[in-house]
């Protein structure tokens, strides 16, 4: 067992001496569940035994430590063998050399919970992860190291990437968590989605990919390294597949097993869009086909999606919820029938495991879209997978003198080549419906209010005769950047009633204030972050003040040179003056990074901000730039809790100083394509099954139970940008009803 030093900054890892000597002289006392991991073209060998592995992605920072044991146990009960997680570099190294592994980022604690549950672990170190996570997991500060371009052969990037990777490897080794040390980590991934590197970076990507593989292999961890979507990975690195379907995936070498790193049981959400779903029948079909065609390791991405707490969501415009329509929902409750249907699938596959791994295979075609893969061993054992890939029609086939009816788009699993243990299209598991039970905020105290100033608070951070890039200015220290200027309208100049303010922006969002009043807001969306805002404005003779509150809504997490994608206004003009269109783009602009309330740490229950709050029995409503604070009781019972924000505009929320995240009940278009039922048959894609047209993409925001005080009062803080009614905020208890 390893212990950490008290200093999270230095994070030095040492073996505790008593347990070290016990392991040295009595190695059988180790909680080992494996000893070494090798592979050939058929499968992994774990402790000398061939294994089929069904894995589940659970990202430790997207839940909280109090939830981890329950999530892992629910995955295990669902028939899972391993837990997979990324390692989130920007969460662990917020500034160069300053490491953090506490609370939601306690990677070692999470790993040991997985180990103690008797499950394997797949560690995807990255350090680029994509994952709809801010900047794809790469620290923002690295972009500002001279000579750095992410995911290329640039020396500064490679230097920092190697240092962090080694840090994680050394941490896991000191904790004796790799299988070669008697631990449970059976695979480690370096980087992510290499296929995209070569497409995007061309000649600059391939050398980096090969360097990363070489660097990883130099780490003495004793388990195989994998590379996601690197189709020409080095001989001693296993390339893997990411997709909705990987049954036809073939490794680049016949000596490597088929590994599916990401089978997507749903999809992520973006603010202002409808909600995607993937039917359990289709997920089961894809998994069954993968193992039917010789697959060996299959991982659900995600099995529990969780929550993008605080400002961790990427995108831009990825929602705070990362539910992913996963078998375990965002709040930690199993989603039926998906969880149960997959559990039955896993059980059927495991009944075939020995024959699949040691038997001989044969293929029989019954038609253009019907086939069987049969596995037999020397002792007479037999298992079969019967597939019907027709999207419309049932098919009756005769297999070994017996008739089998196959529904459209389905696989039947016959562990004994006679009896159907499972058919992917036949859902027998109970269905559950989620209910959010309202519980009003209970408080014996009134509201505290802080009014955020429009524009510059204190002194400007700097002044320039240009519009600066938002991200390069804030370096993601905050979502907010004020752009302020003033202009004069001469006495003889007429002002049209149709005066228009025109703002062009690279994204992501902006609020426009003229002479202290909110005039309009503009937003990009999940497919086009740029936007143009044209709004009527009321001007006056003499001096007019213009303030733009520019906002980011999560930084890009993937794509071509994504760290160079900017944000913020690029052009500001006013029309409707009698003799001119006023171009303010090159005016003198004063800038302020962040909000005064952020500077005062109003979100912290331990800060010095109490002197800045004013008490109200009833808070002002529908006013922009308002901070609200209320002391609330802990909701009754032990159900998971969501914060209902449907009557608010846009902003941030905290409970007892913990960052709930961005809220924005932005509605999708009522004209979007939604379905009341979802046809599981045929190839799946994210827009196939959508719900919630004309509704807020996200109404409820997960507040973990462990964040509440068990017996006392809780401090809820809200920053509202555009105006809402905080008296209508309610807690809701999340419950499931089975039928």
Model pLDDT for residues 557-600, shown as the tens digit of each residue: 998 899 999 999 999 999 988 778 899 999 999 999 999 999 99
Q: What torsion, rounded to 10 degrees, do the Cα atoms 384, 385, 390, 392 define?
A: 100
Domain range for 645 is: 434-451+598-738
- Rounded Cα–Cα distance for residues 331 and 322 (Å): 10
- Rounded Cα–Cα distance for residues 632 and 305 (Å): 28
Same-domain pairing of 663 and 567: no
- What would the two tokens of residue 133 be? 């996570």
Residue 491's φ and ψ, nearest 5 degrees, are: -60, -35
Using DSSP's 3-state secondary structure scheme, residue 515 falls into coil
Q: Is the pLDDT at 28 greater than 50, yes or no?
A: no
For residue 16, the model assigns a pLDDT of 35
For residue 194, the model assigns a pLDDT of 75
Same-domain pairing of 614 and 587: no
Same-domain pairing of 469 and 606: no
Residue 428 lies in a domain: no
For residue 208, the model assigns a pLDDT of 86
Residue 356 lies in a domain: no
Same-domain pairing of 254 and 297: yes
Q: Which residue in 5, 34, 8, 11 sits closest to 176, CA to CA?
A: 34
Q: How far apart are the first and last CA of the chain?
A: 45
Of 548, 573, 594, the domain-final residue? 594
pLDDT class for 423, splitting at 50, 70, 90?
very high
Q: Is the pLDDT at 25 greater than 80, yes or no?
A: no
Residue 561 lies in a domain: yes
Q: Is the pLDDT at 483 greater than 80, yes or no?
A: yes
Q: Which residue in 300, 306, 348 sits closest to 331, CA to CA?
A: 306
For residue 29, the model assigns a pLDDT of 34
- Cis upstream peptide for 481 (omega within 30°): no
| CB-facing half-sphere around the CA of 392: CA atoms within 13 A | 0
Residue 368 lies in a domain: yes
Same-domain pairing of 543 and 619: no
Same-domain pairing of 520 and 568: yes
Same-domain pairing of 276 and 379: no
Q: Which residue in 199, 257, 183 sits closest to 226, CA to CA?
A: 257
Residue 235's CB is within 10 A of a number of other CB atoms, namely 8
Residue 146 lies in a domain: yes
Same-domain pairing of 579 and 603: no
Residue 691 lies in a domain: yes
Entry pTM: 0.93
- Rounded Cα–Cα distance for residues 412 and 400 (Å): 14
For residue 9, the model assigns a pLDDT of 33
Beta strands in 377-415 (DSSP E): 382-388, 395-399, 402-406, 410-414
How many percent of the chain have pLDDT more than 70? 94
What's the full length of the chain, in residues? Answer: 739
Same-domain pairing of 96 and 171: yes
**Integer CA distances (angstroms), 2 to 14, 109, 120, 507, in order:** 6, 11, 19, 46
Residue 509 lies in a domain: yes
Same-domain pairing of 310 and 370: no
Same-domain pairing of 231 and 135: yes
For residue 202, the model assigns a pLDDT of 64
Please provide the average confidence, as pLDDT, over all residues in the chain: 92
Q: Is the pLDDT at 26 greater than 80, yes or no?
A: no
Q: Which residue stretches of 384-481 are H helix?
A: 470-474
Q: Classify each residue of 394-409 as buried b or exposed e, where b means 16 or more C-beta atoms within 10 Å of its C-beta.
A: ebebebeeeebebbbb
- Specify the range with the lowest mean pLDDT, choosing from 76-80, 150-154, 375-379, 440-444: 440-444
Determine whether 728 is exposed, middle or buried from the number of CB atoms within 10 Å of its CB (0-12, 13-18, 19+): middle
Of 403, 423, 443, the domain-final residue? 423
More confident residue, 7 or 614: 614
User: For residue 203, what is the domain's CATH number?
Assistant: 3.20.20.80
**Integer CA distances (angstroms), 123 to 82, 111, 170, 240, 419, in order:** 10, 9, 13, 14, 37
Residue 652 lies in a domain: yes
Q: Per-residue pLDDT averaged across 423-448, rounded? A: 90
Q: Is the pLDDT at 543 greater than 90, yes or no?
A: yes
Residue 218: CB partners within 8 Å, gap ≥ 6? none
Residue 353's φ and ψ, nearest 5 degrees, are: -55, -50
What are the residue numbers of the active site? 193, 262
Model pLDDT for residues 610-652, shown as the tens digit of each residue: 788 999 888 999 999 999 999 999 999 999 999 999 999 999 9
What is the phi-psi region of residue 126: left when phi exceeds 0, alpha when psi lies from -120 to 50, beta otherwise? left
Q: Per-residue pLDDT averaged across 407-421, rounded? A: 98
Model pLDDT for residues 257-300, shown as the tens digit of each residue: 999 999 999 999 999 999 999 999 999 999 999 999 999 999 99
**Integer CA distances (angstroms), 398 to 151, 401, 403, 647, in order:** 53, 6, 4, 59
Of 556, 573, 594, the domain-final residue? 594
For residue 210, the model assigns a pLDDT of 87
Query: How does DSSP classify residue 216?
Result: H
For residue 233, the model assigns a pLDDT of 85
For residue 737, the model assigns a pLDDT of 85
Same-domain pairing of 35 and 97: yes
Model pLDDT for residues 302-343, shown as the tens digit of each residue: 999 999 999 999 999 999 999 999 999 999 999 999 999 999
User: For residue 706, what is the domain's CATH number?
Assistant: 2.60.120.260
Model pLDDT for residues 462-481, shown as the tens digit of each residue: 999 999 999 999 999 999 99
Total number of domains in the chain: 4
- Specify the range with the lowest mean pLDDT, choosing from 52-61, 108-117, 190-199, 410-419: 190-199
Residue 606's CB is within 10 A of a number of other CB atoms, namely 9
Q: Per-residue pLDDT averaged across 61-82, rounded? A: 98
Model pLDDT for residues 213-266, shown as the tens digit of each residue: 999 999 989 999 999 888 788 889 999 999 999 999 999 899 999 999 999 999
For residue 18, the model assigns a pLDDT of 39
Q: Is the pLDDT at 11 greater than 80, yes or no?
A: no
The residues pairing with 403 across neighbouring beta strands, listed in sequence order, are 398
């Amino acid at each position: 067992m390893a212990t950490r030093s008290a200093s999270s900054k230095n994070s030095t890892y040492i073996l505790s001496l008593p347990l070290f000597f016990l392991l040295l002289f009595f190695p059988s006392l180790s909680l080992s569940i494996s000893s070494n991991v090798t592979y050939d073209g058929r499968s992994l060998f774990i402790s000398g035994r061939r294994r089929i592995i069904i894995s589940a992605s659970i990202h430790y920072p997207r839940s909280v430590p109090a939830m981890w044991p329950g999530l892992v146990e629910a995955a295990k009960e669902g028939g899972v063998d391993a837990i997979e997680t990324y390692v989130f570099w920007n969460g662990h190294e917020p500034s160069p050399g300053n490491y953090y592994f506490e609370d939601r980022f306690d990677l070692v604690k999470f790993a040991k919970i997985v180990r103690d549950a008797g499950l394997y672990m797949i560690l995807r170190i990255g350090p680029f992860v994509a994952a709809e996570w801010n900047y794809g997991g790469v620290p923002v500060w690295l972009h500002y190291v001279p000579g750095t371009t992410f995911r290329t052969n640039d020396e500064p990037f490679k230097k920092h990437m190697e240092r962090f990777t080694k840090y994680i490897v050394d941490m896991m080794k000191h904790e004796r968590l790799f299988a070669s040390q008697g631990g449970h980590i059976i695979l480690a991934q370096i980087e992510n989605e290499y296929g995209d590197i070569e497409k995007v970076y061309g000649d600059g990507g391939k050398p980096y990919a090969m360097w990363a593989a070489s660097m990883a292999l130099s780490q003495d961890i004793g388990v195989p390294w994998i590379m996601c979507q690197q189709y020409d990975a080095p001989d001693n690195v296993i390339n893997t597949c990411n997709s909705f379907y990987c049954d036809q995936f073939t490794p680049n070498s016949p000596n490597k097993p088929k590994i599916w790193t990401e089978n997507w049981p749903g999809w992520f959400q973006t603010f202002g869009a409808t909600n995607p779903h993937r039917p359990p029948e289709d997920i089961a079909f894809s998994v069954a086909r993968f193992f039917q065609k010789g697959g060996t390791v299959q991982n659900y991405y995600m099995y529990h999606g969780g929550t993008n707490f605080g400002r961790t969501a990427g995108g831009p415009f990825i929602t705070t919820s990362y539910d992913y329509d996963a078998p375990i929902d965002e709040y930690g409750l199993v989603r039926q029938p998906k969880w149960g249907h997959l559990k039955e699938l896993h059980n059927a596959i495991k009944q075939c495991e020995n024959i699949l791994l040691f038997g001989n295979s044969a293929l029989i075609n019954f038609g253009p879209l019907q086939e069987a893969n049969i596995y037999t061993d020397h002792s007479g054992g037999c298992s079969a997978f019967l597939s019907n890939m027709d999207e419309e029609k049932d098919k009756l086939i005769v297999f070994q003198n017996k008739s089998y009816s196959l529904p459209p788009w389905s696989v039947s699993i016959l562990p004994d080549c006679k009896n159907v243990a499972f058919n992917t299209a036949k859902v027998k598991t109970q269905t559950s419906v989620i209910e959010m039970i309202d519980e009003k905020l209970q408080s014996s105290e009134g509201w505290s209010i802080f009014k955020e100033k429009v524009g510059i608070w204190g002194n400007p951070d700097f002044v320039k005769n240009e519009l600066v890039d938002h991200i390069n200015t804030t370096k993601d220290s905050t979502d907010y950047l004020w752009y302020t200027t003033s202009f004069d309208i001469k006495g003889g100049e007429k002002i049209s009633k149709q005066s228009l303010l025109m703002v062009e922006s690279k994204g992501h969002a902006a609020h426009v204030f003229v002479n202290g009043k909110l005039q309009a807001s503009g937003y990009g969306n999940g497919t086009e972050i740029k936007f143009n805002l044209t709004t009527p404005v009321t001007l006056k003779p003499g001096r007019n003040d213009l303030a733009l509150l520019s906002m980011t809504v999560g930084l890009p997490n993937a794509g071509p040179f994504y760290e160079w994608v900017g944000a913020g206004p690029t052009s500001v003009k006013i029309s409707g003056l009698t003799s001119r269109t006023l171009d303010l783009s090159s005016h003198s602009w004063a800038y302020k990074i962040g909000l005064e309330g952020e500077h005062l740490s109003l979100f912290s229950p331990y800060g010095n901000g109490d002197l800045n709050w004013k008490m109200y029995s009833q808070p002002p409503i529908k006013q922009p730039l308002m901070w609200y604070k209320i002391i609330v009781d802990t909701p009754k019972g032990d159900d998971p809790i969501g914060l209902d924000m449907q009557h608010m505009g846009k902003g941030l929320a905290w409970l007892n100083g913990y960052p709930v995240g961005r809220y924005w009940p932005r509605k999708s278009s009522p004209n979007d394509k939604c379905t009341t039922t979802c046809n599981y048959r045929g190839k799946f894609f994210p827009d196939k099954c959508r719900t919630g047209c004309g509704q807020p993409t996200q109404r409820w925001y997960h507040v973990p139970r462990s964040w509440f005080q068990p017996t006392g009062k809780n401090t809820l803080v809200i920053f509202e940008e555009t105006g809402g009614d905080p008296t209508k905020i309610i807690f809701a208890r999340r419950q499931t009803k089975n039928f």
